[in-house]
Amino acid sequence: MFLLKTLTMKLKTGIILFIACLFSANGFAQGFNSYKYDLYFGIGASNLMADVCAPKNTNKLAWVKFFNTIGFIGNTGLRYKFSERQSANVNLSLGQFYAQDPTKDPDYWDDGRKVNTFFTEISGRYEFMVVKEKKKKTVYRMLGESFLKNLNIPTYLFIGAGGLFNTGKFTQTTADGHDISNEQYSNFSFIIPYGVGFKTRLTNTSHLNLEVGLRFAFSDKIDNWENGWYDQYQFITFNYVKKLKSNKKGLPKF
């Protein structure tokens, strides 16, 4: 009797696994074939690493001084998935770069400089999914396993190329508040964006996305101050992503 009961339980478990995997694979195939496009938009913060508010320690590869290098960003884009792991997208970002030399901080240069500039960035990117999304078919719940044991955070890496145009105001004052420089300026730079992103599903056709991106810029004039090395910047954004179906011509249906 005990042996029969054990065999019955194993048989049920096997059937559950088979059906769940079958539906999961079928659902994934249909989802990938039907929803090859993602439309996304979001907001976040920018961090400018330039000559203004640069630390005295030249060995620092990255720095953030919250009230002196942080601006804001809004972005949107369209992603095309040409395989389960690979995709390409076009991204548009609009926002602000801000930097100001801190006062009375021995770790930073205090030259009275301040830059407030607004930018437009357009880039094309290649993305590779290093951690694929697990289908949320309830095979684990059917078997009584915990959610945490099977926690999955889809993760991707990206790299691309693009351009940055920024225009703004640069000022420099003496310790007693007199202007040394006060000028409007503009600048264009080619850029290489690269970074990492994470996703979490909301519904079958939407999810949230956190992305941390770095930019290598081929310009030393983003902050209107030249010092012999290229300025750099970073973005961190939170995006809402909506999957789009393809029409008969393979284009996205909005």
Decide which of 6 and 133 is more confident: 133
What pLDDT, in 10s, does the model give residues 224-246? 999 988 999 999 999 999 999 88
Residue 147 banded pLDDT, cuts 50, 70, 90: low
Residue 18 falls inside a structural domain: no
- Given phi > 0 = left and psi -120 to 50 = alpha, else beta, which region is 40? beta
Q: What is the pLDDT of residue 141?
A: 54
Residue 137 banded pLDDT, cuts 50, 70, 90: low
Residue 9 falls inside a structural domain: no
Q: Is the pLDDT of residue 168 over 90?
A: yes
Look at residue 111 and give its three-state secondary structure: coil
Q: What is the pLDDT of residue 130?
A: 96
Q: Which domain holds residue 238?
A: 35-244
**Cβ(96)–Cβ(105) below 8 Å:** no
- Percentage of the chain beyond pLDDT 70 is 81
Predicted structure pTM score: 0.81
Residue 146 banded pLDDT, cuts 50, 70, 90: low
Domain count, the chain: 1
Residue 60 falls inside a structural domain: yes
Per the prediction, the chain carries an average pLDDT of 85
d(CA 151, CA 154): 10
Q: Which of 50, 45, 47, 65 is nearest to 113 (CA)?
A: 50
> Which DSSP symbol is given to 252?
B
What pLDDT, in 10s, does the model give residues 21-39? 444 444 444 455 678 999 9
User: If you count them, how many residues does the chain have?
Assistant: 254
What pLDDT, in 10s, does the model give residues 61-90? 889 999 999 999 999 999 999 998 999 999
Residue 89 falls inside a structural domain: yes
Question: Which domain CATH number covers 93?
Answer: 2.40.160.20
